[in-house]
Amino acid sequence: MKKSKTIIGLVCAIGAAVCYGTNPLAQFLYAEGMKVPSVLFYRFGLAWIIVAIVMMFRKESLRVTRREFLTLSALGILFILSSTTLYTSFQLMPSGIASTILFTYPVMTAAIMTLFFRERITWITIASILLSLVGVMLLTFNGIFTLQDFIDVLTFKSDKWAYSKLGIVLVLISALTYALYIIVVDKSPLQMSSFKINFYVLFYCALGNVVYAFLSGQPLMLPPTSTAWLWVSWLAVVPAIMALVMMVYAAKYLGSTPTAILGALEPTTAVLIGVFVFAEPFSSRLLVGIVLVLAAVTLVVLGKARKK
């Protein structure tokens, strides 16, 4: 029985990571003429409807306290920022590279916890930060070999950016806001199911993209074709709902540490989609950068496991 649960957990962990890694398929919708606010509105809107139906069958109350409402509002705002910046970055740089840089969020989380929550700094934290920094540089810059090059990069004076500066900055903001999202969830006193949290977060995300569409002058548009509706439904169901459900079972049957390590399949999936579906460039330099980022995240996860 224990062996079968481990197998189920393993399959769910792999499935969740692969599902999350399919976000770059949003580029099919950009090719159909849809803008970021429209893509995200329908993605989050459909996902919200699905979660609402699940909660109805679970007969789960929607009532929240004032404090819970404020916390859920903060989570909604952070998730809007993270998703909007990530999906915008897909238009400015290879989606596989963007998804790999996004995967630095566990390292950012560890750094923030050390700097602002007085967690004891360890050699693992330092090593993971350095590895991820070098990995991101290999992914986003060309030929950084000297100290001056390093300083120029940190001060945004470098002329060796491999992709759009804006795209790189946006995906780093996405990783940072997602790291903050995780910290708020961890530190807040929310006592409710993940379905209830996601009900409110998804609602905020759908509503936020209505506001974004208005302010950016990119009015919401219906998916123009049946194929577009298929991809919108995919983004709502696969990297959102399915990944969420499988992650719960993976953590339950396999454990949080191996589940987190197998999460490395998320950017790997995104890179493969970018290379084989969208013909994005790939090189040995990018491979080394990806490996360094994944190694940094693995160090963070193993470090947390040691603390426990």
Mean pLDDT of 262-287: 91
pLDDT for 85 beyond 80: yes
Total domains present in the chain: 1
Would residue 225 count as lying in a domain?
yes
pLDDT digits (tens, 9 = 90+) for 186-240: 888 788 888 898 899 999 999 999 999 999 999 999 999 999 999 999 999 999 8
Q: Which two tokens stand for residue 285?
A: 């330099």
Average pLDDT over the chain, rounded to whole? Answer: 89
Would residue 303 count as lying in a domain?
no
Output the pTM of the full model.
0.91
Would residue 291 count as lying in a domain?
no
Would residue 199 count as lying in a domain?
yes
Would residue 150 count as lying in a domain?
no
pLDDT for 153 beyond 80: no
The boundaries of the domain holding residue 237 are: 2-120+164-259+268-280
